[in-house]
Structure formats: C-alpha cells, structure tokens
Amino acid sequence: MFRLTKQELARMIDHTLLRPEAVSGDIVKLCEEAVENLFGAVCVNPAYVPPAVRELEGTNVRVGTVIGFPLGATNTAGKVAEAGRAVSDGAAEFDVVINIGALKDRETAYLEREFGDVIGIIRKARPDAVVKVILETALLTDAEKVLGCRLAADCGADMVKTSTGFGPGGATEDDVRLLRSVVGDRLGVKAAGGIRDLETALQMIAAGASRIGTSSGVKIMQEWSEAKAMV
C-alpha cells in the first residue's frame, strides 16, 4: 500500500505538544507515547525540556523544542539565551521561528546575524543538533518562502519547516513542494500545522516532507495499523 514501513513513518514524526496550558503530567504522557510508538522525537516548549529529557533518558527518542515561538518576533538576545538554555538542558532538536517582519522587509543581514548567533550557540554545545527554521508559510509570499529557505540553508540549518501550528494556516502540499524544490536534498523539509490524519501525513511525505510535526501521531499510527489490517 505504501513504500514506507511503519517504523520509517514513526521515525519521521515529531510528537508535539506546545499548548501553553500543558501540565507536567501531559509531558510525561507525551514521552511515554513517543517511546511506545517509536517516534523520532518529541517537541515541547523550552520550559518542559528538563522533564522530557528525564523521561526519555536511555531511549532513542530525541527531545526537540522551539525557539522564538510562535511569533518569531522577539529580539535576538532572547532567542539566543532561550536556545542556549535549552541545549544545556539536553534538547537535541530546535525549531527556530524566523523573524517574519524582517523577512518581509528583506532585512537579510539582520536575519543572517540572528540565525548565526542562534545556530552558533546550539552547535557549539551540541554539534549533532538538528536545527529547523520555521517559516510560517501562511503569512508569506512565494518569493519570501524562497528567500527564507535560502537564508536557512546559507546559515547552516538542517531543515526548513512550514508552520508553527499557531498561525492562520498550516502545511500545504504546494508549500512542501516549493520548499523541497529550493533546498533540494541538502536540507530536510518538515511539514507541520493541521496534519491530523494518516492521509494528510502521507500526502506531505509524497510532496517532499522528510519530517512531520503533529500532535496526532498516536492516531496516525493507529490509522496505519488499521489500513494494514485491511490489506
């Protein structure tokens, strides 16, 4: 039915909980689900990196977090300190929101400096960290999406990511295809925002996504098992 194996799909999923009202019990549950389903990573707010790292010690699940999230409009000093603390707390993956206004204003020097500082502090502490740049495509023109991808690639990011999930729209197949066409096979593409079922996840992967950010990972894996059972 699909070329992907179940385990390959699971490894592509960032099991995500970024709601501000999440409590520590929710984070524990998220981590347990990630282990059980063999997800590649969890994605939690920076304040929850320490408990997620404790929960996932000794497992293959990586702890991811978000920087400048979800607006991307904080100052560089805030993003750098947030990332520095998260990496020292044990985070291994970092989804960094681009400064959207600066991108629209074509402030490329500002953006390069900010990415340089943020990615620099992460890599210094953890050379194998995965850094993803969130573009929030629903707010951008195609030209801005392309410029954002190029800046992310030039500044040493590992992936570009469509959306925060808090914006006016989530991942679309067209955006995933566009991002993939710009970054080629040099960078990964993470589709996130509004991916709530297996069908949508597979459409994103077919369009070029190498990573899926979703809070519906458990449901998606259940749908996989049910689809398999029907074959």
CB 158 within 8 A of CB 131: yes
Residue 38 Cβ vs its own copies, minimum distance, rounded to whole Å: 26
Name every residue whose Cβ is closer than 8 Å to that of residue 108 and which is 6 or more positions away in sequence.
147, 151
146 sits near its own copies (criterion: CB under 8 A): no
State whether the Cα torsion 18-91-59-220 is positive or negative.
Answer: positive
Q: Which of 8, 32, 101, 154 binds its own copies (CB under 8 A)?
A: 101
**Could you tell me which residues come within 8 angstroms of residue 179 by beta carbon, excluding any fewer than 6 positions away?**
135, 137, 145, 149, 160, 162, 189, 208
Residue number, 6 or 194, with CB nearest to its own copies: 194
Min dist CB 155 to its own copies, Å, is 17
Please tell me the distance from the alpha carbon of residue 18 to that of residue 39, in angstroms, as a whole number: 17
124 binds its own copies (CB under 8 A): no
Kindly state whether residue 2 participates in binding its own copies, applying the rule CB under 8 A.
no
Q: Which residue type is seen at 181?
A: S
* Tokens at 90, concatenated: 């044990």
Nearer to its own copies (CB atom), residue 167 or residue 188: 167
Let me know: does 178 contact 143? Beta carbons within 8 Å.
no
Q: Which of 47, 146, 206, 227 binds its own copies (CB under 8 A)?
A: 47
Stretch that binds its own copies, among 1-9, 95-103, 172-180, 208-216 (CB under 8 A): 95-103
Q: Is 121 one of the binding residues for its own copies (CB under 8 A)?
A: no
Q: Give the footprint of its own copies on this chain (CB under 8 A).
A: 18, 20-24, 26, 45-49, 69-82, 84-86, 89, 97, 99-102, 104-105, 136, 139, 166-167
